[in-house]
Amino acid sequence: MSETETSLTFKDNFIELLILDELAYVPLSPADAELLFQVLDERTEVSALICTTNLPFGEWTKIFPEPRLCKAVVDRLTFNAHIVETGTESWRFKKTLERQKRRGTRSSAAEIAAEGGAA
C-alpha cells in the first residue's frame, strides 16, 4: 500500500460522516476500486455514510472492474443500511424542465443538458 493510500484511510477514521455523491457514475480503476473497498471496510459499523447513485446495484459491475470486489462493496454499503430509492428520473432534469416551463420557453434535451440540467 502506498503512503497516499495509508494516509487517506487513516484520515477517514476521524470523519464522522462520509458522503459519496454520484458513486458508480464513472468506472473505477482496479486500484481505485480496491482503495474504496478498504475505506468502506474500515468504516463499516464505525461511522455514518451517505451514498448517492443513479445506478442500480445490479449494474455496478460496469463500474467495479472485478465482480467479487463489486459484490463486497455492495455488501459493505448495504449492511445495516437505510436504502432510499427515489426512482430513475433525474431531479436536476426535472427541475430544469420546471424552470423552462415557468419561463414559458421550451428547450431541446441537448440545450437543457448544455445548461447543466441533465444528471
Residue 16 is part of a domain; what is its CATH number? 3.40.50.300
Question: Do 63 and 73 fall within a single domain?
Answer: yes
Give the residue numbers spanning the domain of 38: 3-87
pLDDT tens track, the chain, 119 positions:
555 555 555 555 577 888 999 887 789 999 999 999 999 888 888 888 999 888 888 889 989 989 999 999 999 999 888 888 877 677 778 888 898 888 876 556 556 555 555 44
pLDDT of 112 reads 54
| Per-residue confidence (pLDDT) for residue 119, from 0 to 100 | 43
Question: Are 99 and 77 part of one and the same domain?
Answer: no
Q: What is the pTM of this model?
A: 0.63
Residue 89 is placed in which grid cell? 428520473
Counting the structural domains of the chain, the total is 2
Query: What pLDDT score was predicted for residue 34?
Result: 94
Distances, alpha carbon 79 to alpha carbons 26, 94, 119, in Å: 23, 31, 27
